[in-house]
Amino acid sequence: MKQFTMIVIKINEMINFMNKFIAIVGSNSSKSTNRELLKYMQRHFKSQAEIELVEIKGLPIFKKSANKYVPQTARNIAKKIEAADGVIIATPEYDHSIPAVLSSALAWLSYGIHPFVDKPVMITGASYGSLGSSRAQAQLRQILDSPELKARIMPSSEFLLGHSLQAFDDNDNLKDIEITEQLNGLFKDFLQFVNISKQLNNANVVNKQQAEQFLWDKD
């Protein structure tokens, strides 16, 4: 009981510190509503966390090489992820899946470098239709849970922004109060999830070693 109380006290102390998050725009579109969503979160939650947007549109398509070359752009993103307390990813949905540019970026970020290991991740998504990238988010969860990535994805949480072209007002704020309240609640949960995750890294060294040593073609 005493040990549990001490953990709760530590978590409450952590909450008083400003967390720093990396927000990955999972699209290479210049007018992505997923970017718009992340910019809104950056402004809306500025008193609760520092959120830095990261673009992946400058990354080349993933390609294996004999010397396991990783572009410097990918290495720079990896350093930002490693230094952050958590990651937010906003994905659109193309053909029931995440965009090729996001899949390629995650491949680079698990090829000789492994910044996502045990890193808390919140998944969001916006789409022009009514489903709000739900199938893409489900696929993204599977990818982030793979042996090469080993991210710690916040469970039972989906923020699905449907009809995203009509979702924002002239000041780039969400129009729907209910949707805004849902996002507020999920973000509050993510802050708690991040702070709890800081207490759950006893196997981090081993997890990183396993990610580095994993090969799909190895028996």
Phi-psi region of 93 (alpha: psi -120 to 50; beta: other; left: phi over 0): beta
Q: At what angle do helices 33-44 and 177-197 cross, to 10 degrees?
A: 70
> Residue 192 domain-assigned?
yes
Residue 45: which pLDDT band, with cuts at 50, 70 and 90?
very high
> Residue 64 domain-assigned?
no
- Decide: 175 and 168 in contact? Cβ < 8 Å: yes
When divided into structural domains, the chain yields a total of 1
> Residue 5 domain-assigned?
no
Range of the domain at 88: 19-56+69-213
CATH number of the structural domain spanning residue 24: 3.40.50.360
Helix (H, G, I), strand (E, B) or coil at 32: coil
Helix (H, G, I), strand (E, B) or coil at 34: helix
pLDDT for the residue 132: 82
> Residue 176 domain-assigned?
yes
> Residue 11 domain-assigned?
no
**pLDDT tens string 98-124:** 999 999 999 999 999 999 999 999 999
CA angle 85/87/91 to nearest 5° reads: 175
> Residue 174 domain-assigned?
yes
Q: Is pLDDT above 70 for 9?
A: no
pTM for this prediction = 0.89
> Residue 7 domain-assigned?
no
The residues pairing with 55 across neighbouring beta strands, listed in sequence order, are 25
> Residue 52 domain-assigned?
yes
pLDDT for the residue 203: 85
pLDDT for the residue 2: 62
Q: How many CA atoms lie within 13 A of 147 on its CB side?
A: 9
